[in-house]
Structure 1
Amino acid sequence: MPFADELIGPPVAQALVRAIRSAAPHAELPALRVAPRRIEGLPLRRRADLLRDALLTDLPGDHAALSAVVCRALAESPDFSGWLIWPVTEAVATRAVREGAPAAFDEAMALLADLTGRLTSEFAVRIMLRHDLDRALGVITDTWVHSADVDVRRLASEGTRPYLPWATRVPGVLTCPGVTVPILDALHHDGSEYVRRSVANHLNDLSRDHPALAVGAARRWLDTPAPATARLVRHGLRTLVKRGDRPALDLLGFTAATLDVDGPHVERATVPVDGSVRFTAAVVNTGDTPARLAIDYVIHRLKADGGHTGRTFKLTTRTLAPGERAEITREHSFRPISTRRHHPGRHAVSLRINGVDSGRAGFELTAD
């Protein structure tokens, strides 16, 4: 499997050159023709930007001229798909907002909807949202959420996410968080799991800064649920559950419980930096009623400055009858990864059950 940066590699750039040359046979395409050599060594985002800018350079003129070429490629070339679509959609959006005409804006939104099934237009729609939030949201809420095309409905939710990975932020969405809730209200009962999962991820994004807004939306949906609503809400509120947010936990049925918690206990006092810490614990429901439990664990990592930071990991959900005991065993890996560096020294693990932290067991992470 290629690394993320390699998703747009020289073969993708060469495929884009072929598709555009076929759709615009008289264009010389000097910038596009050298692009396959220039993208080597660049991160993914900059590769997409380079190809976008090459398209805009080699296909001058207004939005209509660029759209005509893109539409011909879309109609005539089945290979006009995959990761080459990312820079194409961004070129369409960039040309439209630079032109500034409402007609160009609306035509670009329609073309993004046509293109999204070939990969996704979720990154390009951010350009439209940043340029005219109200006009873009109007198209999305009036048209896209009602589309018969599942890819377009998913685009409505995914493209407007507050923290869409790899995408630029949209200030209007972040400063007015409720502005995207009508999209989620329209799509949370969608018949496609593909769309519903996007809604859940969007709700999770929303919960990061505005937990009450996210919990309020989830509560409305659960008042008149579809068969898949409970699952969607659980996924959408997962970050709040990890944080121990009381309203989210209560909504999901993880209410306060009377428990006896033994542990966690680590099996080894020292763990090599490329090894794993194994820990055990036991939880007993000492109350008189069944207890529904969200059981997570927290790794308290040593930072470079000598402080500690906690990262919460999902462990299990259980319902314990009065007097019932649950045995817990988990192994957490410290295998090095590119996005996180582990520092040798004192670390710890603790449990978090229905938002309440319980116990802490220390261990030494060693360099050898």
Structure 2
Amino acid sequence: MEPLKNIYNLQFITKLEDVITLNYPAFEREAFRTKLFEADWEELALKERMRQITLSLAPFLPQDYKQTIEILRKCAPSFTGLGGIIFPDFVEQYGLEEWELSVETLAFFTEFSTSEFAVRPFLIKNQTRMLAQMEEWAESENEHIRRLASEGCRPRLPWGLSVPALKKDPTPVLVILEKLKEDEALYVRKSVANNLNDISRINPDLAVTIAQSWYGNSQKTDWIVKHASRSLLKKGDPRVLQIFGYESSDSLSLADFTITPEKLAWGENIAFSFTLISRIETPHKVRVEYAIDYVKANGTRSRKVFHLSELEWRGSMKKTFAKNHSFKDLTTRRHYPGVHRIAIIVNGTEKAALEFELIQT
């Protein structure tokens, strides 16, 4: 798979030069390109390339910020998708002292790409003022702007600049989530769920309270709560399990739990199977997961939980599960040799576990 950073390729740069020149004929495209590639371009990650474009554009656009924004607003509609974050990034880099113009421009740019990363320095500079702006955005007719209200204030936004005050106390964002919890756009509701999931990792008690108050009000809020509770569900939080009707697993048992092979090398799969048996005579819900305790570089182990199935049984039943799990290195996970552990979790409770060894070849 091609690295994501390669969205900023020569074709993109050429198009950017063409569009800017069309809207600003004085643009020195050759000088811009020379400055752009002064850095070791191939070694730069996605957001590093984004920032290099921003810094390389600035010397060749008008020194008056307002004039430059007028030019960039004409260019931005030609760059939809993730690559378009270069335009909000220009605002982030050069517009913090031009609050009203910059904030209005971020709302405009987000319709073509996303301004979620660029709003973070504004939150840090003046959280009260920026959150008030996001409250206004939450009532916009445009779903992209409404999503910006929720996504931009996430306490743990991936790839986003950290906002320490929100990581310490996320309660100020709740008024925005309340405004958007019944949003018509799934795009927006997914952002609300991700924001609430962030909160669950900072303040689980607060997240549980919100989930309890929202769940059962509508299909929209039920979906948000379920998606937002994924971290707490994987941790087996009994309060969240109860919200979704997962009761004690005392009357649920495992049989014939096996893994193959017991020793495997990098890139190979481990296969495991087991039978889940329920002795409950009344209707009940069952959530089945498995966890792998991975060996880390320092020799300790770290758990990762994976979802297997959710079942609604009418009475006593049994079901056999079989699964293959790959130990191929990923960009998000590297594997290390040693004794690993795999566990089966039912309704938040570990029911059985076996060990296996990952070896170097």
TM-score using structure 2 length: 0.92
Please say if 1:135 is aligned against 2:129.
yes
Choose which of 119, 123, 140 in structure 1 pairs with 2:117: 123
Going from structure 1 to structure 2, the CA distance change for 1:321 and 1:60 (only over 3 Å counts) comes to same
Q: Distance in 1 between matches of 2:119 and 2:349?
A: 40
Matched residue, 2:78: 79
Deviation of 1:316 (Å) = 0.8
Choose which of 317, 334, 343 in structure 2 pairs with 1:341: 334
Going from structure 1 to structure 2, the CA distance change for 1:80 and 1:285 (only over 3 Å counts) comes to closer
Q: Which amino acid aligns with 1:312?
A: V
Matched residue, 1:91: 90
Choose which of 123, 132, 149 in structure 1 pairs with 2:142: 149
Which stretches in structure 1 are left out of the alignment for 5+ residues? none
Going from structure 1 to structure 2, the CA distance change for 1:30 and 1:172 (only over 3 Å counts) comes to farther
Q: Distance in 2 between matches of 1:351 and 1:274?
A: 22
Q: Which amino acid aligns with 1:105?
A: W
Q: Which segment drifts farther, 47-56 or 263-272?
A: 263-272
Deviation of 1:279 (Å) = 0.8
Please say if 1:52 is aligned against 2:45.
no
Secondary structure, counterpart of 1:289 in structure 2: coil
Secondary structure, counterpart of 1:326 in structure 2: strand
Q: Distance in 1 between matches of 2:31 and 2:169?
A: 39
Please say if 1:229 is aligned against 2:229.
no
Q: Which segment drifts farther, 289-298 or 21-30?
A: 21-30
Matched residue, 1:3: 3
Going from structure 1 to structure 2, the CA distance change for 1:315 and 1:52 (only over 3 Å counts) comes to same
Deviation of 1:362 (Å) = 1.5
Choose which of 215, 222, 245 in structure 2 pairs with 1:253: 245
Q: Deviations over 1:245-297 (max 9, x none)?
A: 12111112112132122253213222232111111112222234333122110
Matched residue, 1:63: 65
Which stretches in structure 2 are left out of the alignment for 5+ residues? none
Q: Which amino acid aligns with 2:108?
A: D
CA contact (8 A) 1:241 1:248 kept: yes
Aligned-pair identity (%): 30
Secondary structure, counterpart of 1:151 in structure 2: helix
CA contact (8 A) 1:244 1:356 kept: yes
Going from structure 1 to structure 2, the CA distance change for 1:249 and 1:35 (only over 3 Å counts) comes to farther
CA contact (8 A) 2:79 2:113 kept: no
Deviation of 1:132 (Å) = 1.4
Going from structure 1 to structure 2, the CA distance change for 1:304 and 1:28 (only over 3 Å counts) comes to closer
Going from structure 1 to structure 2, the CA distance change for 1:9 and 1:162 (only over 3 Å counts) comes to farther
TM-score using structure 1 length: 0.90
Deviation of 1:178 (Å) = 0.9
Matched residue, 1:362: 355
Choose which of 179, 182, 206 in structure 1 pairs with 2:175: 182
Deviation of 1:30 (Å) = 6.5
Secondary structure, counterpart of 2:123 in structure 1: helix
Secondary structure, counterpart of 1:118 in structure 2: coil
Matched residue, 1:219: 212
CA contact (8 A) 1:55 1:88 kept: no
Q: Distance in 1 between matches of 2:265 and 2:87?
A: 47
Matched residue, 1:200: 193
Going from structure 1 to structure 2, the CA distance change for 1:84 and 1:332 (only over 3 Å counts) comes to closer
Q: Distance in 1 between matches of 2:104 and 2:261?
A: 59
Going from structure 1 to structure 2, the CA distance change for 1:71 and 1:301 (only over 3 Å counts) comes to closer
CA contact (8 A) 1:281 1:328 kept: yes
Q: Distance in 2 between matches of 1:24 and 1:320?
A: 66
Q: Distance in 1 between matches of 2:214 and 2:31?
A: 50
Q: Distance in 2 between matches of 1:306 and 1:139?
A: 47
Deviation of 1:344 (Å) = 2.5
Going from structure 1 to structure 2, the CA distance change for 1:210 and 1:31 (only over 3 Å counts) comes to farther
Going from structure 1 to structure 2, the CA distance change for 1:233 and 1:44 (only over 3 Å counts) comes to same
Q: Deviations over 1:34-81 (max 9, x none)?
A: 25534332111111111122233333534322222223334xxx5244
Q: Distance in 2 between matches of 1:83 and 1:260?
A: 47
Q: Distance in 1 between matches of 2:202 and 2:31?
A: 42
